[in-house]
Amino acid sequence: MSADTAVEWDLIYRPRRMPRIAIAAAAVVLAIHIVFAALLTISDTGVHIGGSDQLGLALIGVVEAAAILLFTQPRLRVGPSGVAVRNLVGERLFGWDRVRGMTYPDKGFSARLLLPDDEHVPVLAVQAADADRAVSAMNSFRELAERYGSDSGGEMGPVEQS
């Protein structure tokens, strides 16, 4: 089941704090690499350092910043067709027949989407750092799970408190 089809979503949730931190961290990492690349030729250390070395160091900073920016991607979407979870890379759509609920473990960073056979998928969009917004998203998810997932036979509340 593809998440790209034209589907109407009742809940679209993105974290607020993690993307802001990721953008700031990416900017700092990129700035540090560019500054160090510019300062490589400031004095003679006995090692020949050329423009390609400077460019290489700056490009390493670009790659690292791009990797950090992946943390701006997490999203949770809930609708009649199921639950779509996008973490760092890619989005997966789980039909209501597979969803057993969503829980937040006691010592966890983010929520978990519960699937059959004791499987789970981390939901990086719903994080403890977002406090009341995350609680609201969990409540909204549970309301929608009751509406759309009642025929799945699974329990839609908090299943585990690990």
Please report the DSSP string for 66-112 in residue order.
HHHHGGG--EEEEETTEEEEE-SS-EEEE-TTT--EEE--TT-SEEE
Which pLDDT belongs to residue 6? 61
Tokens of 11: 């809940």
Residues 6+ apart with CB under 8 A from 53: 37, 40
Which pLDDT belongs to residue 55? 95
Tokens of 94: 């789980």
Tokens of 114: 């519960």
Residues 6+ apart with CB under 8 A from 1: 81, 82, 93, 95
Which pLDDT belongs to residue 50? 83
The pLDDT of residue 159 is above 60: no
Provide the pairing of β-strand 11-13 with 75-79: antiparallel
Which pLDDT belongs to residue 83? 94
Residues 6+ apart with CB under 8 A from 91: 3, 75, 84, 85
3-7, 16-20, 22-26 — which is least confidently predicted? 3-7
**Average pLDDT, whole number, for the chain?**
86
The pLDDT of residue 158 is above 60: no
Percent with pLDDT over 70 in the chain: 88
Tell me what the mean pLDDT of segment 105-109 comes to. Answer: 84
Q: What is the pLDDT of residues 52-106, one digit of tens each?
A: 999 999 999 999 999 999 999 999 999 999 999 999 999 999 999 999 999 988 8
Residues 30, 65 contacting (CB under 8 angstroms): yes
pTM here is: 0.78
The pLDDT of residue 32 is above 70: yes
Which pLDDT belongs to residue 87? 93
Instruction: Report angle CA 137, 99, 119 to the nearest 5 degrees.
Output: 105
